[in-house]
Amino acid sequence: MPRAAVQANEPIFDTHPEVSLDFSHVKTVLKRGYEKPFLLIDPEIIRLKTRRFTRAMPRVKPYYAVKANPDPRVVQVLRDEGTGFEIASVAELDLLLSLGVPAREVLYSNPMKSRAYIEYAAHKGVEWFVVDSVEEVRKVVSIKPDAKLYLRIDTPNIGADWPLAGKFGAHLVDVPEIIAAAAAARADMAGVTFHVGSQCRNPQNWRVAIERSRAVFDQLIAAGMRPRMLNIGGGFPVRYVKPIPAIEVIGEVVNEALEAFPEEVEVVAEPGRYLVSDAAYFVCRVVGTATRAGRRWMYWDAGLFGGIIETAEGLRYQIRTDRTGPMVPWCVAGPTCDSVDVILQEEMLPEDMQEGDFIYLPNAGAYTTAYASTFNGFPLPEVIVL
Ligand SMILES: *Cc1c(COP(=O)(O)O)cnc(C)c1O
């Protein structure tokens, strides 16, 4: 019997209070008027979430995944909290360097990097580069022979609302060949990483992934390598609509699994969503409504192209309005003329919603403004920091 910290019959969902930005701040900002959709961020909540993450997993140093929200003011808050950073591109690296983040505090965790990007990052002083294929090992080493490589492995994404498996991650059958290629290239295969899937609501994914990482550490050691870093990736969930395992519950599972690694092994994570989502409200407005073949439609001034894109894969935001009418099903679409720009089908919203009404999405600080484009001539949402 494993000494499981969380037994199957124990409640694991919603065991701890979660935070949201205080709604009164949204009302205060709206008193100044409204021009276009905006994201209102409270940096204090980012600080709170960072400290809570570290308390739940004292052995794990967070490296913020910049893609979740690359606003420079967000990055500054995290830099001041002492996190490192995870990047996928040189634009993200330049942003960090311009804010005084040292390159050695940066993990280049995109498994598929162009030669030009690797050269640039290496030149700027980045030391850590992820790999998940024989070709990528050879590519990185040909540019930076002393790179510290960490091997991304494939792990279960069961129970993640935004699964990432398939696109990246070496499968266990391919690991021996990658290690052999690294040995032949005299590469420093210094660590192992994985990603359990974003908004992962199943703590067991971390346990399984850490156990697999331990097995890969053993394979690396057997091949004469010196693995010394375990990177447990991102995926830590926040409370939207569905219940979540609190970070403390995930922490119990992670902390116990980490006991299989000696103290000298440095353990890091790459939380994105967890650190920034709860700190912000996304605010937009109803452009108009219509009835089509008996179905009610409403069109917001921000849709799929305006930052509300995660609903396309099934993520659900809590939706606040100022209306109190009976709830009826609505189709919700964005303002562009692209037929793909439909955010929600049959979403229960007040019957009396009208043109000009405001829409408030709490906990929307991650993967909203970061995704927005000006497609069809609609403006990017503004980011306002309290
Ligand atoms: C996107 C990403 C993250 C962050 O994921 P979250 O689900 O936002 O925590 C971390 N690491 C890598 C490599 C990523 O691609």
What CATH number is associated with residue 286? 2.40.37.10
Residue 13: inside a domain: no
Last residue of a domain, one of 275, 300, 327: 275
* 234 pocket-lining for ligand 1 (C-beta < 6 Å): yes
Are residue 240 and residue 145 in the same domain, yes or no?
yes
Q: What's the confidence (pLDDT) of residue 157?
A: 80
- Give the pLDDT mean for 115-119: 98
Are residue 222 and residue 321 in the same domain, yes or no?
no
Residue 199: inside a domain: yes
Are residue 202 and residue 256 in the same domain, yes or no?
yes
Q: 53, 57, 67: which to mutate for ligand 1, most atoms within 8 A of CB?
A: 67
Task: Quickly state the pLDDT bin for 167 (edges 50, 70, 90).
Answer: confident
Dist. CA 54 → ligand 1 center (Å): 17
* 70 pocket-lining for ligand 1 (C-beta < 6 Å): no
- 134 and 181 Cβ atoms separated by less than 8 Å: yes
Q: What's the confidence (pLDDT) of residue 9?
A: 56
* 62 pocket-lining for ligand 1 (C-beta < 6 Å): no
Q: Which is nearest to 87 in space by CA: 57, 102, 65?
A: 65
Outline where 231-290 has alpha helix (H): 247-258, 273-276
Are residue 184 and residue 321 in the same domain, yes or no?
no
Last residue of a domain, one of 275, 301, 325: 275
Query: 274 phi and psi, to 5 degrees?
Result: -55, -40
Q: What total of structural domains would you count in the chain?
A: 2
Are residue 260 and residue 111 in the same domain, yes or no?
yes
Dist. CA 270 → ligand 1 center (Å): 6
Q: 202, 230, 270: which to mutate for ligand 1, most atoms within 8 A of CB?
A: 270
Whether the CA torsion 135, 139, 144, 147 is positive or negative: it is negative
Query: Is pLDDT of 159 > 70?
Result: no
Dist. CA 27 → ligand 1 center (Å): 32
Outline where 198-261 has alpha helix (H): 204-222, 247-258
Last residue of a domain, one of 275, 298, 315: 275
* 144 pocket-lining for ligand 1 (C-beta < 6 Å): no
Per-residue pLDDT reduced to its tens digit, 304-323: 999 999 999 889 999 999 99
Residue 8: inside a domain: no
Mean pLDDT score across all residues of the chain: 95
Dist. CA 62 → ligand 1 center (Å): 11
Are residue 87 and residue 158 in the same domain, yes or no?
yes
* CATH number of the structural domain spanning residue 271: 3.20.20.10
* 42 pocket-lining for ligand 1 (C-beta < 6 Å): no
Q: Which is nearest to 195 in space by CA: 181, 183, 185, 205?
A: 205
* 113 pocket-lining for ligand 1 (C-beta < 6 Å): no
Which candidate in 200, 284, 331, 337 is catalytic?
337
Residue 31: inside a domain: no
Give the number of the atom of ligand 1 that is nearest the alpha carbon of residue 271.
9
Task: Quickly state the pLDDT bin for 82 (edges 50, 70, 90).
Answer: very high
Are residue 46 and residue 175 in the same domain, yes or no?
yes
Give the number of the atom of ligand 1 that is nearest the alpha carbon of residue 152.
13
- Cα–Cα distance measured from residue 211 to residue 190, given in angstroms and rounded to the nearest whole number: 17
Per-residue pLDDT reduced to its tens digit, 275-303: 999 999 999 999 999 999 999 999 999 99
Q: What is the pTM of this model?
A: 0.95
Are residue 271 and residue 287 in the same domain, yes or no?
no
% of the chain with per-residue pLDDT over 90? 93
Residue 25: inside a domain: no
- Cα–Cα distance measured from residue 67 to residue 47, given in angstroms and rounded to the nearest whole number: 18
* Known active-site residue 337: yes
Dist. CA 65 → ligand 1 center (Å): 6
Give the number of the atom of ligand 1 that is nearest the alpha carbon of residue 130.
13
Are residue 241 and residue 296 in the same domain, yes or no?
no
Per-residue pLDDT reduced to its tens digit, 129-146: 999 999 999 999 999 999
Q: What's the confidence (pLDDT) of residue 164?
A: 64
Dist. CA 222 → ligand 1 center (Å): 30
- Cα–Cα distance measured from residue 194 to residue 200, given in angstroms and rounded to the nearest whole number: 13
Residue 17: inside a domain: no
Q: What's the confidence (pLDDT) of residue 3?
A: 46
Q: What's the confidence (pLDDT) of residue 1?
A: 40
- 335 and 212 Cβ atoms separated by less than 8 Å: no
Are residue 266 and residue 281 in the same domain, yes or no?
no
Task: Quickly state the pLDDT bin for 384 (edges 50, 70, 90).
Answer: very high
Are residue 248 and residue 364 in the same domain, yes or no?
no
Are residue 224 and residue 328 in the same domain, yes or no?
no
Structure tokens at 375: 């497609």
Residue 5: inside a domain: no
- 195 and 185 Cβ atoms separated by less than 8 Å: no
Residue 9's CB: how many other CB atoms inside 10 A?
5
* 277 pocket-lining for ligand 1 (C-beta < 6 Å): no
Give the residue numbers spanning the domain of 304.
277-383
Query: Is pLDDT of 378 > 90?
Result: yes
